[in-house]
Structure 1
Amino acid sequence: MTAPETLIGDVPGVGRPAARALAVQGLTTLAQLDGRDWAELAQLHGVGPAAGRRLQARLEEHGAGMLNPPAPEKREDRVTKGATGKVAKDIKTAATDVDPAEYVAGLDARRSREGARLLEIFGEATGERPTMWGASMIGYGEVHYRYATGREGDTFQIGFSPRKAELALYGIQGFPRSDELLERLGKNRRGAGCVWVRKLEDIDEDVLAELVAHCWENGPAPEGERG
């Protein structure tokens, strides 16, 4: 395959300054960039790495490319406080109007007692009102996440789910004192997205309250306030 005769200025995301600077060097089409050394082109005023990445991506679609191309943009998972409404179409879990207290009251006797106690612990630690998310998760606060892949959505900041087999505790990992407090918490096992507890009596409720408060206070900042 060969690079097309597409004009550099017609490549989406490549600004006029970059197109003009390359044109001065006699480079006006993608085909003319094939085999050129990006390290040299990057020295031109107005030609930045963002334009270079977009041009290289288009060249690679045709089996071509520049030498020493700019490094791919490093993207990281990002979580910010507050919902945005931007949610991938296939994500179905969302906040509902179901009353968390009524939901908990309808569970079996033990889970109902544990759920009611967790409502107290999480409510006191966060100072927030609970919201049902999906069929069985109870969350406090809202955050927006965007993964490095570009996938994004809204969810709760911290919460729990009184499931039949185990209690799931969300949003309590990855903070400065999470590991220390989880070690003191009692019997638990850590999953990728939550911490599992078989029954409430297996853990120290005071430590749980301290853990929830710590993670809530150290949670994500609003968009624009992150360092």
Structure 2
Amino acid sequence: MTIAETPGLSAPMRSALAEAGFTTLADLDGQSRTALLHLHGVGKVGLTRLQEAMEQEGLALDGGHASWTATDRGEAPLAAGRSAEAKTAPSGDSAREWIAQLPWPRRVEQGLRLLEIFEDVTGAPPRMWGPSIVGFGEAHYQYATGREGDTMRVGFSPRKGAITLYGLQSYGSHEDLVDALGTTKLGKGCIYVNQLEDVDETALRRLVAAAWAG
């Protein structure tokens, strides 16, 4: 969902977020509440409404930027700037069943195809993170404030407005692979795809592999 489509936000708040470079709710995932409140036009009431809308999409605000280490493939170097799904915890729900029950037939088809691609490339089983994100692997993050936790390493979410790809920009520099994907939109830590057919599958596989390898 875009910020412009989010109900209950004032015009000054929408403008402030747009000027700060945020256009969708996913762009705000893992962003600092305190930092957002410092933006002129952003107030506590609006921020509460924003958080409520984000929670419906399995997203959340948090404080600061995180460093992470991969926990399922041995040790990895710390990397700053990870846009973590700080309050998105894994559940025991079936990713395949969740995709199959989506109310948008085209997204069901695309979601199942992405499931095959990510499983094939990573070799890891899918897990639901929060109510609407399919994740693979696990990484540990730590904020400058000392707060820490775990998040997925890579993942995706076939939402109504767009398919969101997670973790593919966060582990090193893969600008050439991102450019090779095709028609996409870049957010803060996420890649948005309108239709899976817009993306070059070979490039997507290479990007997932590069992100997975760290």
TM-score by length of 1: 0.57
- Asked if the contact 1:177/1:214 (under 8 Å) is kept, the reply is no
* Bigger relative contact order (CA 8 A; separation at least 6): 2
Match of 2:68 in 1: 79
Name 1:101's counterpart in structure 2: 96
For residue 193 of structure 2, what is the aligned residue in structure 1?
197
Instruction: Give the whole-Å Cα distance in 2 for the aligned partners of 1:182 and 1:140.
Output: 19
Structure 2: unaligned runs, 5 residues or longer: 1-64, 73-85
* Equivalence map 1:142-153=2 (5 Å): 142-153=138-149
CA distance in 2, matches of 1:171, 1:147: 17
Q: Residues of 2 paired with 1:120 and 1:210: CA distance? A: 14
Residues 1:152 and 1:215: Cα distance change in structure 2 (over 3 Å): same
Q: Distance in 2 between matches of 1:205 and 1:122?
A: 11
**Partners of 2:132 and 2:213 in 1: CA distance:** 25
Query: Aligned pair in 2 of structure 1 residues 151, 182: CA closer, same or farther (>3 Å)?
Result: same
Unaligned runs of 5+ in 1: 1-75, 84-90, 219-227
Structure-to-structure mapping, 1:1-227, within 5 angstroms: 77-82=66-71, 92-107=87-102, 108-176=104-172, 178-218=174-214
> How much identity, in percent, do the aligned residues show?
47
Root-mean-square deviation over aligned CA pairs: 1.9
**One-letter code aligned to 1:97:** G
> How far apart are 1:201 and its partner, in Å?
0.8
- Partners of 2:180 and 2:112 lie apart in 1 by 23
The structure whose Rg is larger is 1
Aligned residues: 137
* Alpha-carbon contact 2:122-2:209 (below 8 Å) kept: yes
Q: Which amino acid aligns with 1:105?
A: A
Letter of the aligned partner of 1:82 in structure 2?
T
1:81-132 CA-to-partner distances (Å, cap 9, x unmatched) read 128xxxxxxx542111110000111112100000000001100110000000
The whole-number CA distance in structure 1 between the counterparts of 2:189 and 2:132 is: 15
The letter for the 2-side match of 1:99 is S
Q: Distance in 2 between matches of 1:195 and 1:151?
A: 26
User: 1:147: Cα distance to partner?
Assistant: 1.6
Shift of 1:189: 1.1
Normalised by the size of structure 2, how large is the TM-score?
A: 0.60
Cα distance in 1 for partners of 2:201, 2:213 equals 18
Distance in 2 (CA, whole Å) between partners of 1:149 and 1:94 is 20
1:213 positional shift: 0.7
